[in-house]
Amino acid sequence: MNNTNIIVLNKINKSFPLTIGGTQQVLFDITFTIKSGEFVAIMGPSGSGKSTCMNIVGALDSATSGTYELYGKDITTMTADDLATVRNEYIGFVFQNFNLLSKRTILDNVMLPLLYRGMNINDRIRRSREMLKLVGLEKFETYFPTQLSGGMKQRVAIARALAGNPKLILADEPTGSLDSKMGNEILKFFEKLNRDFGITIIMITHEFEIAQYARRIIHIYDGHITYDGVVPKSEKTLLDSEKRHKK
Ligand code: ADP
Ligand code: MG
């Protein structure tokens, strides 16, 4: 951990237009910083704004107001092209539903994002095989996603995220479609990536058991941060922070 702030969010607000007119505000003055090497869980009940927050952190969506710096770059004023470059350079994404291409082999799935980095075919194959080995799936490179279990699919998605050598992994409910055994394997793997490779991890979850794998919890409730600190001994601390907000 080298103590540099890699993410600096300052008073981020986000509203969505409603089809019936007007807007719905989903995030309110979201302010936090994340340092290189952290493993943070963004936790909160369903509908609290976690994914909206992650999409902004991942430069997939922009805030309505507020400022955001990622690796020293002002994200708020960037063009769509520049945002894509930043995403490619720094971030690996992992989603609940794996987002694999079902008609492509496992190897192809991992290789695909590397195409956008201008890597030649031999390097793409070599790099993707290395990543499949890292997640223990080197024997499955010719398989298709439908032939694999949920846990294996998520490992493919992680291999794909890692292939681009990201400094930061953003994972939105990565174990949400897995049983607890497969889920725990994925979470242990995140721990290893964070500990052994120094990759910063931001993981979204609505479950305290899962958030406990992180070393810090940012708790969001109704679009507000109600807790930001070390993982508390019990979930009650987080639920109490919601209650204080409701008052
Ligand atoms: P969470 O991930 O915590 O379950 P979300 O960030 O997905 O919550 O959603 C928070 C709120 O924002 C919900 O009320 C949801 O309906 C609304 N929302 C999310 N994305 C959009 C969108 N693209 N357009 C309109 N409303 C949205
Ligand atoms: Mg969500």
- Closest atom, ligand 1, to C-alpha of 18: 25
Q: CA nearest 134: which of 192, 95, 220?
A: 192
Q: Which two tokens stand for residue 193?
A: 């990536």
Ligand lying nearest the CA atom of residue 64 = 1
* Residue 117, helix vs strand vs coil: coil
What's residue 2's pLDDT?
58
Ligand lying nearest the CA atom of residue 173 = 2
CA separation for the pair 69, 89 (Å, rounded):
15
Q: How many residues does the chain have?
A: 247
Question: Residues with beta carbon < 5 A to ion ligand 2?
Answer: 50-51
Ligand 1 pocket: which of 15, 26, 224 to mutate (most atoms within 8 A of CB): 26
CA separation for the pair 39, 157 (Å, rounded):
19
Q: How confident is the prediction for the chain on average, in pLDDT?
A: 95
CA separation for the pair 138, 117 (Å, rounded):
23
Q: CA nearest 12: which of 48, 59, 62?
A: 62
Place of tokens 């949920």: 150
Ligand 2 midpoint to CA 88 (Å):
22
Ligand 2 midpoint to CA 139 (Å):
33
**From atom 7 of ligand 1, which residue's Cα is the shortest distance away?**
51
Going from the N-terminus, what domains does the chain have, and what CATH number goes with each? 5-246 (3.40.50.300)
How many CB atoms lie under 10 A from the CB of residue 109?
Answer: 25
**Whole-prediction pTM value?**
0.94
Q: pLDDT digits over 46-105, tens only? A: 999 999 999 999 999 999 999 999 999 999 888 989 999 899 889 999 999 999 999 999
Adjacent-strand bridge partners of 65:
13
Which residues form the pocket of ligand 1, taking CB atoms under 6 Å from any ligand atom? 16, 26, 44, 46-52
Report which DSSP code applies to 96.
T
CA separation for the pair 244, 241 (Å, rounded):
5
